[in-house]
């Protein structure tokens, strides 16, 4: 749940819409202004219609970051309609009866604001950064499109070409992303996390206006939404604005608690190979199915998610990590290596490692070396020094992230979408500090079990000419993003 992981996760599992420059790609935006401890006075409200409002005051500049999060993501899609959550995110910019297409974005631009949107397996979100005095304006626009979206085939069908082209860019043209897509499909035997957030092409091609509107009506409403406002505003003022805007919307009766098909016991180590002519750097990657913060909580596994976070850091974050030191520096079998864990998932989470071989090293040799690093942690545990260094860095990163309004808002929003509370977020540093070396070793032994994993090999396909892999189909639409 720390910021570094968020940055990874953004790359790995969240599609950020390319409407404008993403705030989130500027993590240092407000970092020069030291001393902000915005997280200490967070307010948490709930309106009578079910909408949750979280306010993070931060008075360093007269701006606010306003985010609305809906509890719906790719894992909530009807089978056969993959990509629908993300498609709807795009279509949310197509206007309402009150505000025709383009007006919202034009107003945001005119007042010097920024806006964007993102979709993950678990949530969909929209945000704007605007001068504080314009906050009510964006809340009016957002509350209007919460239930007022108007879609015609004339806007839906060209947008479908846009998301197909986005798939081309993100997936088909990116061998590493293709490998990840295949690994997810193999890791999850039953859970919809196995489907790509962007969608399978053949299903995206069939998504219709009706599909989008049905999905919208089923999942968008105040009782499924969390508004997070970070910035130069007092909680009571934000609450009043929320009541005047979102507060006027009736709860949506169709919204029910999410319940996805869960995994059976994982009993077989899996592996797969993706050969692509455009691969310049082969790689071996592995992902293990492990508890998320939410499933550890539900299944009464206290501290296990936090132990995995520390383990991910010790094992694979930075040049002092076990993986990097052992594979890149000491043995010189790899040119890059690392590991990661993201606790933020409503259902189970992934723990992964990756490495690219040095010249003359095979993927089999490299995998064996990585397995030896993991076996060593399981057998001998980690040192107190490693624990201290990891914890200090993780907590420092989190404090640093608090200097960025969008990062803060995003941290709370992600947590609230994936089974955590405001309190859970605030207690995160204490929970990390409490992790013991024994817990880290136990977590490695318990969860880094190959039966619960898929190993992926990325290799250069020398049988096909680069640039023309057989499986890529062109989109007839122009490139729009």
Active-site residues, by number, are: 89
C-beta closer to its own copies: residue 34 or 267: 267
Tokens standing for residue 168: 């081309």
**Interface with its own copies (CB under 8 A), residue from 34, 35, 154, 259:** 259
Give the nearest distance from C-beta 120 to its own copies in angstroms: 19
Q: CB of 192: closest distance to its own copies in angstroms?
A: 7
Report which DSSP code applies to 247: G
Our finding on whether 185 is near its own copies (CB under 8 A) is yes
For the CB of residue 364, give the shortest distance to its own copies in the complex, in Å.
Answer: 12
Among residues 31, 189, 213, 335, which is the contact residue for its own copies, using CB under 8 A?
189
The answer to whether the beta carbons of residues 188 and 263 sit under 8 Å apart is yes
Provide the pairing of β-strand 349-357 with 283-290.
antiparallel
DSSP letters spanning 368-424: HHHHHHHHHHHHH---HHHHHHHHHHHHHHHHHHTTSHHHHHHHHHHHHHTT--HHH
465: helix, coil or strand?
A: coil
Binding mask 120-159 for its own copies (x = CB under 8 A): ----------------------------------------
Q: For residue 242, what are its two tokens? A: 């929320």
> CA 284 to CA 262: how far, in whole Å?
27
User: Least CB distance from residue 174 to its own copies, whole Å?
Assistant: 13
364 binds its own copies (CB under 8 A): no
Selected from 273, 362, 392, 427, the binder of its own copies by CB under 8 A is 273
Among residues 268 and 481, whose Cβ is nearest to its own copies? 268
Per CB under 8 A, the segment of 121-129, 156-164, 194-202, 352-360 that binds its own copies is 194-202
By beta-carbon proximity to its own copies, the closer residue of 248 and 262 is 262
Q: Would you count residue 271 as binding its own copies (CB under 8 A)?
A: yes
| Pick 312 or 456: Cβ nearer its own copies | 456
How many residues are listed for the chain in this entry?
A: 481
Nearer to its own copies, 75 or 401 (CB): 75
For residue 271, the minimal CB distance to its own copies (Å) is 5
Instruction: Single out the segment in contact with its own copies by CB under 8 A; choices: 103-111, 264-272, 324-332, 346-354.
Output: 264-272
Radius of gyration, CA atoms only, the chain: 22
Nearest to 421 by CA among 431, 433, 436: 431
Residue 281 engages its own copies in binding (rule: CB under 8 A): no
Q: Phi and psi dihedrals of 128, rounded to 5?
A: -140, 145
- The angle formed by the CA atoms of residues 179, 182 and 185, to the nearest 5 degrees, is 150
Q: What SS3 class is residue 470?
A: coil
Can residue 167 be called a binding residue for its own copies (CB under 8 A)?
A: no
Query: How far are the Cα atoms of 2, 231, 257, 298, 401 from residue 407, in angstroms, in the given order?
Result: 10, 12, 27, 26, 6
Pair 458, 277: CB distance under 8 Å = no
* Closest CB 229 distance from its own copies, rounded Å: 36
Count CB neighbours of 387 within 10 A: 19
Cβ 208 to its own copies, closest distance in Å?
A: 14
Site string for its own copies, 63-92 (x = CB under 8 A): ----------------xx-x----------
* Among the listed residues 424, 411, 415, 417, the one whose alpha carbon sits nearest the alpha carbon of residue 27: 411
CA dihedral 295, 299, 305, 308 (to 10 degrees): -110
Site track 444-463 with its own copies (rule: CB under 8 A), x = hit: ------------x-------
Residues near 260 by Cβ (< 8 Å), separated by ≥ 6? 75, 76, 191, 192, 346, 347
Cβ closer to its own copies: 169 or 271? 271
With CB under 8 A as the contact rule, the residue among 129, 178, 350, 391 that binds its own copies is 178
Q: What is the Cα–Cα distance from 123 to 75, expressed in whole angstroms?
A: 9
Of the candidates 16, 22, 5, 38, the one whose C-alpha atom is nearest the C-alpha of residue 405 is: 38
Contacts with its own copies by CB under 8 A: the residue count is 33
Q: Binding residue for its own copies (CB under 8 A) from 106, 256, 262, 481?
A: 262
Question: Quick check: 389 binds its own copies (CB under 8 A)?
Answer: no
DSSP helix/strand/coil, 283: strand
Is 468 a binding residue for its own copies by CB under 8 A? The answer is no
Check residue 378 for interaction with its own copies (CB under 8 A). Answer: no
Binding of its own copies by 190 (CB under 8 A): yes
Shortest Cβ 272–its own copies spacing (Å) = 4
Q: Among the candidate windows 31-39, 142-150, 260-268, 286-294, which touches its own copies by CB under 8 A?
A: 260-268
Whose CA is closest to 456, among 269, 216, 249?
A: 269
- List interacting residues with its own copies (CB under 8 A): 79-80, 82, 178-179, 182, 185-186, 189-190, 192, 194-195, 200-203, 259-262, 264-265, 267-274, 456, 471
């Amino acid at each position: 749940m720390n910021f570094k992981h968020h940055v990874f996760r953004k790359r790995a599992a969240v599609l950020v819409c390319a409407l404008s420059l993403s705030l989130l790609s500027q993590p240092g935006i407000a970092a020069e202004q030291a001393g902000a401890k915005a997280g200490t006075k967070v307010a948490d409200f709930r309106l009578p219609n079910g909408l949750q409002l979280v306010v993070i005051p931060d008075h360093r500049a007269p701006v606010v970051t306003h985010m609305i999060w809906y509890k719906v993501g790719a894992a909530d899609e009807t089978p056969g309609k993959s990509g629908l959550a993300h498609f709807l995110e795009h279509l949310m910019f197509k206007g309402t009866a009150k505000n025709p297409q383009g007006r919202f974005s034009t107003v945001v631009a005119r007042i010097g604001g920024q806006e964007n949107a993102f979709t993950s397996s678990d949530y969909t979100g929209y945000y704007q950064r605007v001068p504080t005095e314009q906050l009510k304006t964006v809340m009016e626009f957002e509350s209007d499109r919460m239930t007022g979206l108007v879609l015609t085939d004339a806007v839906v069908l060209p947008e479908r070409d846009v998301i197909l082209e986005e798939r081309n860019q993100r997936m088909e043209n990116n061998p590493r992303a293709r490998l990840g897509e295949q690994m997810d499909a193999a890791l999850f035997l039953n859970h919809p996390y196995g489907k790509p957030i962007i969608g399978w092409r053949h299903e995206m091609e069939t998504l219709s206006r009706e599909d989008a509107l049905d999905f919208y009506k089923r999942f968008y409403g105040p009782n499924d939404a969390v508004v997070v406002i970070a910035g130069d505003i007092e909680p009571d003022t934000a609450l009043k604005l929320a009541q005047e805007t979102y507060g006027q919307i009736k709860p949506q009766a169709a919204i029910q608690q999410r319940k996805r098909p869960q995994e059976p016991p994982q009993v077989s180590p899996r592996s797969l190979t993706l050969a692509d002519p455009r691969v310049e750097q082969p790689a071996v990657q592995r992902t293990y199915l492990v508890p998320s913060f939410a499933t550890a909580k539900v299944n009464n596994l206290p501290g296990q998610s936090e132990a995995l976070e520390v383990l991910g850091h010790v094992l694979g974050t930075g040049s002092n990590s076990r993986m990097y030191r052992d594979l890149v520096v000491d043995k010189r079998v790899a040119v890059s290596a690392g590991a990661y864990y993201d606790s933020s998932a409503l259902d189970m989470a992934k723990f992964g490692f990756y490495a690219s071989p040095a010249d003359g090293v095979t993927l089999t040799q490299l995998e064996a070396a990585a397995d030896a690093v993991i076996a060593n942690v399981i057998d001998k545990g980690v040192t107190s020094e490693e624990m201290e260094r990891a914890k200090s860095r993780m907590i420092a990163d989190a404090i640093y992230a608090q200097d960025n309004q969008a990062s803060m808002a995003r941290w709370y929003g992600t947590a609230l979408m994936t089974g955590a509370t405001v309190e859970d977020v605030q207690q995160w540093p204490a929970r990390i500090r409490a992790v013991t070396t024994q817990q880290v070793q136990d977590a490695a032994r318990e969860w880094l079990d190959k039966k619960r994993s898929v190993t992926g090999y990325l290799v250069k396909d020398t049988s096909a000419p680069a640039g023309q892999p057989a499986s890529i189909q062109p989109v007839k639409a122009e490139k729009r993003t």
